[in-house]
Amino acid sequence: MSYTLIIGNKAYSSWSMRPWVAMKADGIPFDEIVIPIYMDGSAEAIRKYSPAGKVPILHDDGFVVWDSLAIIEYLAEKHPTLWPAEAKARAVARSISAEMHSGFVPLRKLCTMNIRRHYPDFELPDDVRGDVRRIETIWTETRAEYGKGGPFLFGDWTAADAMYAPVVTRFKTYDVKVSKPVQDYMEAVLAHPAVREWYAGGEAEEWVLPQYEY
Ligand SMILES: N[C@@H](CCC(=O)N[C@@H](CS)C(=O)NCC(=O)O)C(=O)O
């Protein structure tokens, strides 16, 4: 078993961050290849690894899996500790992860991930505020029901935290005002060694994408 994860820039590629921190946090060894996105030659470079032309991509001894959630689900078959152990908790973890994967378009469009920046008092329009409210509810209710054993959504870190880690970075970057319990959850995510390692990687990158800088 030999995994290679192909990802985009750590500063900007929110989809890449999900499986990367999931694998790191679970102690799954892998090699990484970083392809800077939205530059000359990026699309061709990504297509060498997957015909879908998007990162992240997982290669497992030549077998290709693409899409962040599909990668996590593929890995979870061999590494079941990625998801919560209890069936109902696992179903909730998958539900909230799927909700993230297919939703929150206003937030994702306006507040693109940029871990190197901080925009104090960033003005959020109503549709983005709606996303923020729903995410706060998800985090608060999940923590209240399943999170008593630790600081993460299901107590211990799981792939659901990895799926929401880029959202946490967005809330930090765009100075989103949140409740104290949500602030505590965000601080736990930002302090996780896998997340810190991702930040360090992104801060060291030299590529700048003007379309993601305000
Ligand atoms: N739903 C996909 C989205 C992947 C995606 O949109 N990746 C972006 C980077 S964050 C990408 O590869 N962009 C490069 C391009 O479109 O050329 C996933 O979860 O993996």
CATH 1.20.1050.10 domain range(s) in the chain: 84-197
- Ligand 1 center from residue 56 Cα (angstroms): 7
CA 45 to centroid of ligand 1, rounded, Å:
13
Which CATH number describes the domain made up of 3-80? 3.40.30.10
pLDDT at 47: 97
Class of the CATH domain delimited by 84-197: mainly alpha
Distance from the alpha carbon of residue 66 to the mean position of ligand 1, in angstroms = 10
Backbone angles phi, psi at 63, to 5 degrees: -85, 135
The alpha carbon of 76 and the centre of ligand 1 are apart by a number of angstroms equal to 21
- pLDDT tens digits, residue range 113-148? 999 999 999 999 999 999 999 999 999 999 999 999
Kindly report the protein residue whose alpha carbon is nearest to atom 11 of ligand 1: 54
What pLDDT was estimated at residue 1? Answer: 65
CATH 3.40.30.10 residue spans of the chain: 3-80
> Mean pLDDT for the chain?
97
Count Cα atoms within 13 angstroms, Cβ side, for 163: 28
Q: Whose CA is nearest to atom 1 of ligand 1?
A: 67
Please spell the DSSP secondary structure of the chain, one letter per residue: --EEEEE--TTT-HHHHHHHHHHHHHT---EEEE--SSSTTHHHHHHTT-TT--S-EEEETTEEEESHHHHHHHHHHH-GGGS-SSHHHHHHHHHHHHHHHH--HHHHHHS---TT---TT----HHHHHHHHHHHHHHHHHHHHH-TTSSBTBBB--HHHHHHHHHHHHHHHTT----HHHHHHHHHHHHSHHHHHHHHHHHH-----GGG--
Atom of ligand 1 nearest to the CA of 14: 10
| pLDDT given at position 150 | 98
* Cα gap 6→50, rounded to integer Å: 10
Task: Flag residues of the chain having pLDDT under 70.
Answer: 1
Q: Determine the pLDDT at residue 36.
A: 97
